[in-house]
Amino acid sequence: MPRIDRYILSQFLTLFGFFALVLVSVYWINRAVSLFENLISDGQTALVVLEFTALTLPLVISIVLPIAAFAASAYGTNRLASESELVAMQAAGISPWRLARPVLAFGVMVGVMVAVLVHSVVPMARGRLADRQAEISQNVTAQFLRAGAFQYPVTGVTLYISKVADDGRLLYFFLEDARDPNNQTTYTATEALVVRTDDGPRLVMMQGMVQNLRQTGGRQSLSVTRFGELAYDLDTLLDGGSSRNRDLRAYSTSQLMRADAELLAATGSTADKARAEAHQRLAKPFQSPVAALLGFAMLLIGGYSRFGVWKQVIWAVVALILVQFLGTAAESQVAQNATRWPLIYLPPLVGAAICATILWVAAKPRRLRKGAAAAPAAGDGS
């Protein structure tokens, strides 16, 4: 690599490290505060909070890196211009296309980092986070099972346990589910056990009775069922039947591309949605070189000015916002219809086209100005 390329690349990488550290810290602290409030309110320890915040860090980094690449390229180009280094390079005959080569290399390096995160680290962290959330939810469910007091886990549900035996059995168990006034159910059992399964905690009641009071058309009917053993989903009783499907984003990209029946059954998703998630990961690394080139190319137009290049910086930010807006719109369309996944690649293509157009304009500034000046002169002569 030529010396000038190494110099520009080293400048951008140094600035990238600074901006990435600052942006990740700000974004991560914001996420950590919300997690801290939710977990501490559920009675979790500081170690659990730290573990959860650490598991969200890879996702935060993958989101922030393209923005940090843009900030580094824009700030670095501005500094090169303010110190007249960029003017000297252009005066030596180096074209904007040639100057963009180390910037493109810088963007590709950041894109490789993003690719490693979104294809490997982020899915692994999401999977671990989902497992820990399931464990925490079971512990939160178990904390309601206290003896000697009426408890109200949610509105309309009343729970009472006379005694908890040393071996974990719940003696003289009572539970009333009156969330639906027209369909009230009461469970009583001599003893019960809370059993943890892969699908969540199950309540196994023994030697008991179910009483169901149903009201239809102004008439009430009571049905009584006695049982020797009855298993019931505790999440259904306490959380209203929340879904426990595994997160689609916790699987690797290769698994999503060839989604089999087992994966679709575990996630409750479709093959099109799995494929769309995989293509979102494939398209995400392209954001980094586009963002880096936008921050560099926009600052080349306009030439040297003692007032700086703040106008070009604003245009660069506007261009980045436009590309990000297209990305958000494409994701929204894919969320509505997963078969539209090719739209995911549209924002990077539009960004690349903007960068190429700006570099073409920057490579021919004098010719464009002469053409613009010649047009009024010709009009005066006529």
DSSP string spanning 282-345? Answer: HHGGGHHHHHHHHHHHGGGTT---TT-SHHHHHHHHHHHHHHHHHHHHHHHHHHH-GGGGGGGG
Q: What is the pLDDT of residues 337-350, one digit of tens each?
A: 888 888 899 999 99
Q: Which of 4-13, 111-120, 194-203 has the lowest mean pLDDT?
A: 194-203
**Mean of pLDDT values over 280-305:** 84
What are the φ and ψ backbone dihedral angles of 6, each rounded to 5 degrees?
Answer: -65, -35
DSSP string spanning 192-238? Answer: EEEEEETTEEEEEEEEEEEEEEEEETTEEEEEEEEEEEEEEEHHHHH
Interatomic CA distance for residues 9 and 64, integer angstroms? 20
% of residues, the chain, pLDDT over 90: 15
pTM of the model: 0.69
Q: What is the pLDDT of residues 236-263, one digit of tens each?
A: 555 444 445 677 788 888 888 887 888 8
Q: Where are the domains of the chain?
A: 3-139+247-368, 155-239
Could you tell me the pLDDT band of residue 372, with boundaries at 50, 70 and 90?
very low
> What CATH number belongs to 155-239?
2.30.30
% of residues, the chain, pLDDT over 70: 82
Interatomic CA distance for residues 274 and 287, integer angstroms? 21
The bridge status of strand 157-164 relative to strand 170-177 is antiparallel
Structure-token pair, residue 295: 């921050």
* Under 8 Å between Cβ of 15 and 78: no
Q: Supply the pLDDT for residue 240.
A: 45
- Tally Cβ neighbours within 10 Å of residue 77: 26
Interatomic CA distance for residues 67 and 90, integer angstroms? 27
pLDDT over 60 at 129, yes or no: yes
